[in-house]
Structure 1
Amino acid sequence: MAVEITPAQNGNMGSAVTGFTVAGATAEDYAALRQAVYRDRIIVLKDQQDITPEEFVELGRHFGTIVPYYEETYHHPDHPEIFVSSNLSADGRPLGVPRTGRFWHADYMFAQEPLSVTVFAQKILPPGRRGTYFIDMVKAFRDLPESLKQEARVTRASHSVRRFFKIRPGDVFRPLGDLIREVEKISPPAVHNTVVTHPVTGEEILYVSEGFTDHLIGAERDSLLRDLLEASGQLDETFTDPHIVLHTYEPGEIVIWDNRALVHCALHATDPSAPVMSHRVTTVDGHPFDANPTPAGRGAGTGSAK
């Protein structure tokens, strides 16, 4: 069966991919998948129930250089390239970290070199709905009033992991100040343009998130960041903003998305005790993260917004 990519209809985001296997895919197939990720933001590989961890890692390598998560508590026990989110244990030790990602973010937004592509598999589905909310930040930027676009273009954004860093078992009883200093040393805040230019598509991306962006540099008013988050839908606690799209998982799916262009937020199962597990690999794709990193007029400092 040949690999077939079927884009969503009526302007919706994403494509469905059928006929794919890691063992049978050709270089041309992978090139088409990469093109679809950049074009459609999300691709969903169907019928991947039998993929092994080794094959999952191999799949990720076709989308760039895999970057393992910097905290080992999230690593797969046999394949550190795989980030594990689960509420399960093996041999008395947790398998990964439970209930991750319940806030708007792009993966590794707080890194000096943010990630390009995310490959995600829901390995154990809990009862009821389990999914991921997405916002296309290219469209979100395109929909901004012109005045907000101009304000955003001349600022830079500072991103930090400190708000959602999960306490590790060994951190119990440690002084909070020591832990904060360690987190900031291991993963210091990173500064990127508020508006990033996609190196493949040339599109402008509003690169801010409710979870990781703590302030804007060069902004002439403190309210600009909140205005951008609100306009993109990230402050809508009802998740009904028209920019928000929900993907609910079906057994055997692997979802691959453009981590530059999208922010996402996990929809967890209602029952936190229900068994659940997901695997993820993340990559840098070999392109510059931002095709226009230092355009004239953007703030160059690292201080706080006015």
Structure 2
Amino acid sequence: MQLTTRSDDHAGIEVHHFDQAVATSDDIQLLRHHIYTNKVVILKAQELKPAAFVELGRHFGTPVSYYEPMYHHPENDLIFVSSNLTRPEGQIGVPKTGGFWHADYQFMPEPFAFTLFYPQKLPHGTRGTRFINMATAYERLSPRLKEAVGGTVSKHSARRYVKIRPSDVYRPIGEVLADIERVTPPQTWPTVLVHPATGERILYISEAFTYAIEDAHGNALPTSLLDDLLDASGQLDDSYEHPNIFVQTYEPGDLVLWDNRTLIHRALHNPTNEPTESFRVTVTDEHPLSAEVAA
């Protein structure tokens, strides 16, 4: 396998000639190191069947099935499918997923360590993912905002962006919301996390899932603080020109791995609604997300 550092301002790692059938444990540990430190690793020219894709995920950690079955691949429920393809046998997966700033499973008790993203059908126009490195975002905060978030915790919930299931049709919205709160009750994480592998401080908030910030005594802080943090990190910039934002576009055969603790992301959907499909496997590693509040 051959590793190349990308030359743009938001350098990740491109990996050529990777074959998981012959990859050694040292190869995998090297790639894990680069995911932690470089945040994005692109395996080029991959041709994997669903079972092999899941097995690749097992090399990096423990794959976790998404909690909503309507996203599952019919051959393996560890694969999350985003697809707008029309098939005779019916819809597989869910169309236009992830069009908002978030970290995968940020609203769950055990968020993922790594996301493995494998486009299957790409449109002719732009299809990619926008990213923000939230360790860099924390570093760039003003002294006032760094002081304001010290010792605080943030509340996270899926309630704003849960997609309505087919079984929810004709149900009262209050019942649907009650189900969301029961299945995915709000989670509390430090507003500033310490990365367990790199020691970086990460601003652990997102436009999609974070809805409140509290001080060390559980007192709600002004909503303006969350708004200021989202704005400073780039998540409120509708032009997507904020210096914290970078874009990863895809070529056929690309398989992209990223650090889900540090990066938040937002899908770059093609406005023409051309046929598009992608698979995703998400895994935990041996490091739990720290509940310790950074000062």
Q: Same fold (TM over 0.5)?
A: yes
Q: CA deviation at 1:54?
A: 1.0
Distance 1:10 1:92, change over 3 A: closer
Task: Provide the aligned length of Structure 1 versus Structure 2.
Answer: 291
Partner of 2:159: 162
Query: Which residue number in structure 2 is paired with residue 178 of structure 1?
Result: 175
Give the aligned partner of residue 24 of structure 1.
Answer: 22
SS of the counterpart of 1:235? coil
8 Å CA contact 2:154, 2:205 repeated in 1? yes
Q: Is this contact kept in 1: 2:119–2:277, CA < 8 A? A: yes
Q: Residue 196 of structure 1 aligns with which residue?
A: 193
Match of 1:283, SS? strand
Say whether 1:187 aligns with 2:184: yes
1:301 aligned residue: none
User: 1:192-231 counterparts in 2 under 5 A?
Assistant: 192-218=189-215, 220-231=221-232
Query: Distance in 1 between the 2:125 and 2:213 partners?
Result: 39
Query: What displacement does 1:5 show?
Result: 1.6
Q: Please, which of 25, 33, 51 is the counterpart of residue 48 of structure 2?
A: 51
The residue type paired with residue 76 of structure 2 is H
The Cα RMSD (Å) is 1.3
What is the alpha-carbon distance in structure 2 between the residues aligned to residue 59 and residue 277 of structure 1?
A: 19
Q: What is the distance in 2 between the residues matched to 1:237 and 1:222?
A: 20
Q: State the Cα distance separating 1:91 from its structure 2 match.
A: 4.3
Instruction: Quote how far apart the aligned CAs of 1:295 are.
Output: 3.9
2:256 aligned partner: 255
CA-to-aligned-CA distance 1:215-267 (integer Å, 9 cap, x gap): 11125433110000000000000000010001111111000000000000001
* Structure 2 counterpart of 1:140, from 137, 140, 163: 137
Q: Deviations over 1:128-166 (max 9, x none)?
A: 000000000000000111221121122111111010000
| Cα displacement (A) at 1:294 | 2.8
Identity of aligned residues (%): 48
| C-alpha deviation, 1:296, in angstroms | 7.5
Distance (whole Å) between structure 2 residues aligned to residue 180 and residue 20 of structure 1: 44
Tell me: CA distance 1:111–1:244, structure 2 relative to 1, closer, same or farther (3 Å): same
* Equivalent residue, structure 2, for 1:284: 284
Counterpart of 1:77 (choices 71, 74, 77) is: 74
CA distance in 2, matches of 1:221, 1:295: 19
Structure 1 residues 70-126: Cα deviation after superposition (integer angstroms, max 9, x where no partner): 000000001100000001244432110000000000000000111110000110001
Secondary structure, in 3 states, of the residue corresponding to 1:80? strand
Contact 1:122 1:277 in 2 (8 A): yes
Range 276-285 or range 90-99, more displaced? 90-99
2:94 paired residue among 81, 87, 97: 97
Change in 2 beyond 3 A, CA 1:162/1:295? closer
In the superposition, the TM-score normalised over structure 1's length comes to 0.92
Cα distance change, pair 131–204 in 1 and its aligned pair in 2 (3 A): same
Q: Provide the C-alpha distance between the structure 2 equivalents of 1:296 and 1:35, rounded to a whole number of angstroms.
A: 24
- Counterpart contact for 1:7–1:40, Cα < 8 Å: no
- Match of 1:93, SS state, is coil
What stretches of structure 2 of length at least 5 have no aligned partner?
Answer: none
Cα distance in structure 2, aligned partners of 1:222 and 1:32: 41
- TM-score for the superposition, normalised by structure 2: 0.96
CA deviations on 1:24-65 (whole Å, 9 max, x unpaired) are 2111111111000001000000001x2111111011111211
Alignment of 1:260-275 (within 5 A): 260-272=261-273, 274-275=274-275
Contact 2:63 2:282 in 1 (8 A): yes
Q: Which amino acid aligns with 1:93?
A: G
CA contact (8 A) 2:190 2:294 kept: no
Cα distance between partner residues in 2 of 1:172 and 1:220 = 37
- What's the counterpart of residue 122 of structure 2? 125
Is the 1:152–1:195 contact (alpha carbons within 8 Å) kept by the matching residues of 2? yes
Compute the displacement of 1:282 (Å).
0.4
Query: Counterparts of 1:279 and 1:244 in 2: how far apart (Å)?
Result: 23
- In the TM superposition, what is the alpha-carbon distance from 1:188 to its structure 2 partner? 0.8
Deviation at 1:280, TM superposition (A): 0.1
Deviation at 1:13, TM superposition (A): 2.9
Gaps of 5+ in 1: 298-306
Query: Offset at 1:8?
Result: 2.4
Cα distance in structure 1, aligned partners of 2:293 and 2:204? 15
